[in-house]
Structure 1
């Protein structure tokens, strides 16, 4: 059985990361300090050995070993500092009392005037120690000679060890204090976020009027609060639009249902006032209105659904526009002008055909006798434009004409097969799903002084 430990929170993870980084930084700093100290002590030890050896070498250069006394090579009584003098054959002629009787400490024999620095291990007083040797060649009476000055490295090692222990002990409380301070600091920084979380948790789907407070400053937390409020504004706007949509849809559905119910009641209670044929005509007409409304609602739902990805292919907008214009021309006595230029886009042909058909049907519904259907390209966009010679759209309605269940005043007569108030909303939704837009344009055109609607879609780029 696998046991999964719960993930730690942001405060704990942030504090842990900070402590790890601080630990690495302290370790690096401590290593540098210890290395520098060891290097400095090592250099000083070598310099001390060289100085002591040169003093003896100067005496040998002047008088040889004739006046060389034991005190000249004797240390302070311990094995930390020792000197050994060798003759030309490498035999010790004078040695520190600690190493009397020892053979030569090193086989190095530098020429007179030169030094050789070595590190070796020597057993003195029953224990082995590392020594720094400075070997110097001397040319004097009875010479040449070799002076070996040795300095123990134990003080260097001991100092480095003590400093390492001291720095390690000092780092423990430093890390503990840093962890505590970091944990509190992160908690203080996240306090506004926790307040925002509590505020958002109190917001219900029925009331989206509550907003999170904006913390001072212009940092990431402030921008997060601003983003949350913007999201809540969008949710509230979407909720209000959804409520209006449901209310409008309910009203639209109620109207044909009321008409059918009234006709049935009249036929049942007053059969002499309505024949069976008249009843069937009313029911058939209102049922068609219901079917049209339901189909439009389903299509709008699909255009709003971001997960709905219909098959997209290369589509010739000019062919679709030409076909819909010919359909409008064949349906009623209407003058239809067709001006199509090649315009290729990538999209779903069925949806694009529905969008163009809605614009053509809208123009047919409001025209006085002629409409125009055009396709062309402009600024990297494929454009479908449908114009009519009707009353046009008042400036106050030109922005909201693409909203759902919005009708122009003259459309309330439902002259051409009725209107659900969703046709232009469907056009806008399909255009948006294809990366374009639908819009109303004001065009000074004497022949077509009415409405001018456009669908603008990105052109298909040739591979």
Structure 2
């Protein structure tokens, strides 16, 4: 096997290299996968600690460099000042003065007294008035020579400063920085971890709440809010709670809708089944069969109408916007009125129109035609003898009013009539109204998509009005 692998390797020359590259790729992918699985608190703390460590290293380096330069300058100045002071007054001479070795030389370069540090070579020529750096195998020295002509002594005073003195102070500073930086890093990391964990607590609560909602399918649960908190996490919690509220309301509407539809379909299906069973068992003549088929046809037409309206409503529920354009509302309403005036005439109803001229709005004529048609159909069902439609401008707002003089709607029902499948159970009973309670809901959705307003007002036994309010479109010179 080895010989075979060796021959393969010799054949292309890259087998082992490809194997190493493949192993490196696997290793990197494994490390990346494990890092991605770490908790967010650990990730943030890790990056925060690395950044803090880098900042400490940079700060320590700067401090060390600055300290070295500053200390070197200070010691050079101290060396020069000490030597000059002794040269001016030889009586102040001491062989060793604050880390500086002092030596007195004659004019011939002979050492008279003083101390020379170990490792400093003898016979070094004088370098007056200049600090000189000397490096040997053992160490590095600074020395300074100054002439002395005071009293009975005439010669030179030399000061020698071993650089080890500087290194010792630097090492002490370095150790202090290391231990202080390490303590600061540990305290900063632990404190940062505690703060980050505390700050991310609402996110963990969001996760737990979402998990409980998914497990229990209970949309009534909410995230506990932090008192007097207005940060981004609090905003996220508010947004999540608002989303849950909308989902809960939508779920309740869907449940109610399903229940209402089931209730509405139960009666026509039962009638169809009863008529079919009766016809199969008892009908013996063509006349009886026609009557039975007529009942079945009416119920089927009712169910077809319900399905059509439900599809329209479902389509509107999923819409967020519709195509709209400016159009002449006055002419639009005149065209609608012509058709309904003939329908009212056939039913011996009075149809009254009061439409102002040159009204314009921005909207979708197709959807608005169906919405206004629903209001007019509704008015024709419940009126006594009169139906009306009017449109006028009111302080920059266009109002469309559809009215009838039927028995009216109770005040407690005026806000409920816009709900899906809601029907007033007083004079507007199902014996008079074969609708489904979807017409006004359709109108409400269309008006909302237009950014307009729809409401109703009613005086029982006198008058009922449905009002639609739109912003008037005023054509500017740029639109022409």
TM-score range, shorter-chain basis?
A: 0.7 to 0.9
Q: Say yes or no: does 1:42 pair with 2:72.
A: yes
Structure 2 gap ranges (5+): 1-24
The match for 2:13 is none
Counterpart pick for 1:293 among 306, 311, 315: 306
Deviation of 1:252 after TM superposition, in Å, equals 1.9
Measured in 2, the distance between the counterparts of 1:204 and 1:301 equals: 26
The match for 1:102 is 124
The match for 2:85 is 55
Comparing 182-191 with 258-267, greater Cα deviation is found at 182-191
Matches within 5 A, 1:79-94: 81=101
Matches within 5 A, 1:130-145: 131=142
TM-score by length of 2: 0.71
Counterpart pick for 2:382 among 349, 363, 366: 366
**Over residues 85-108 of structure 1, what are the superposed CA-to-partner deviations in whole Å (9 max), with x where a residue is unaligned?**
999xxx9898986565434548xx
Measured in 1, the distance between the counterparts of 2:432 and 2:213 equals: 47
Q: Say yes or no: does 1:411 pair with 2:428.
A: yes
Q: Say yes or no: does 1:217 pair with 2:230.
A: no
Measured in 1, the distance between the counterparts of 2:457 and 2:311 equals: 28
Q: Say yes or no: does 1:12 pair with 2:42.
A: yes
Deviation of 1:209 after TM superposition, in Å, equals 7.0
TM-score by length of 1: 0.74
Measured in 1, the distance between the counterparts of 2:386 and 2:106 equals: 126
Measured in 1, the distance between the counterparts of 2:402 and 2:70 equals: 90
The match for 1:397 is 413
The match for 2:21 is none
The match for 1:235 is 247
Compared CA separation, residues 436 and 159, structure 1 to 2 (3 A): farther
The match for 1:303 is 316
Compared CA separation, residues 155 and 357, structure 1 to 2 (3 A): farther
Deviation of 1:9 after TM superposition, in Å, equals 1.9
Matches within 5 A, 1:324-403: 324-333=336-345, 334-378=350-394, 381-403=397-419
* 8 Å Cα contact 1:214/1:226 also seen in 2: no
Counterpart pick for 2:258 among 236, 239, 246: 246
Deviation of 1:290 after TM superposition, in Å, equals 1.9
Task: Give the secondary-structure state (helix, strand or coil) at the position aligned to 2:463.
Answer: coil
Comparing 319-328 with 174-183, greater Cα deviation is found at 174-183
Deviation of 1:243 after TM superposition, in Å, equals 1.4
Deviation of 1:304 after TM superposition, in Å, equals 1.4
**Over residues 358-385 of structure 1, what are the superposed CA-to-partner deviations in whole Å (9 max), with x where a residue is unaligned?**
1222222222333332334556654433
Deviation of 1:171 after TM superposition, in Å, equals 3.0
Compared CA separation, residues 137 and 213, structure 1 to 2 (3 A): same
Deviation of 1:403 after TM superposition, in Å, equals 0.6
The structure with the greater share of residues assigned to helix is 2
**Over residues 248-278 of structure 1, what are the superposed CA-to-partner deviations in whole Å (9 max), with x where a residue is unaligned?**
1122223333333334344442244954544
Deviation of 1:17 after TM superposition, in Å, equals 3.8
Task: Give the secondary-structure state (helix, strand or coil) at the position aligned to 1:407.
Answer: coil
- Number of residues of Structure 1 aligned to a counterpart in Structure 2: 431
The match for 2:465 is 452
Matches within 5 A, 1:422-441: 422-441=438-457
Measured in 1, the distance between the counterparts of 2:156 and 2:369 equals: 108
Alpha-carbon RMSD across the aligned residues, in angstroms, is: 4.5
Measured in 2, the distance between the counterparts of 1:196 and 1:343 equals: 51
Task: Give the secondary-structure state (helix, strand or coil) at the position aligned to 2:390.
Answer: strand
Structure 1 gap ranges (5+): 60-67, 110-115
Measured in 2, the distance between the counterparts of 1:338 and 1:344 equals: 16
The match for 1:122 is 134
Measured in 1, the distance between the counterparts of 2:468 and 2:141 equals: 91
Task: Give the secondary-structure state (helix, strand or coil) at the position aligned to 2:451.
Answer: coil
Matches within 5 A, 1:166-315: 166-184=176-194, 186-187=196-197, 190=200, 194=204, 197-203=207-213, 208=218, 211-212=221-222, 214=224, 217-219=227-229, 231-268=243-280, 269-272=282-285, 274-306=287-319, 310-315=322-327
Task: Give the secondary-structure state (helix, strand or coil) at the position aligned to 2:403.
Answer: strand
**Over residues 193-221 of structure 1, what are the superposed CA-to-partner deviations in whole Å (9 max), with x where a residue is unaligned?**
54564454333687637635736633367
Comparing 279-288 with 364-373, greater Cα deviation is found at 279-288
**Over residues 273-302 of structure 1, what are the superposed CA-to-partner deviations in whole Å (9 max), with x where a residue is unaligned?**
954544454344333322221121111111
The match for 1:112 is none
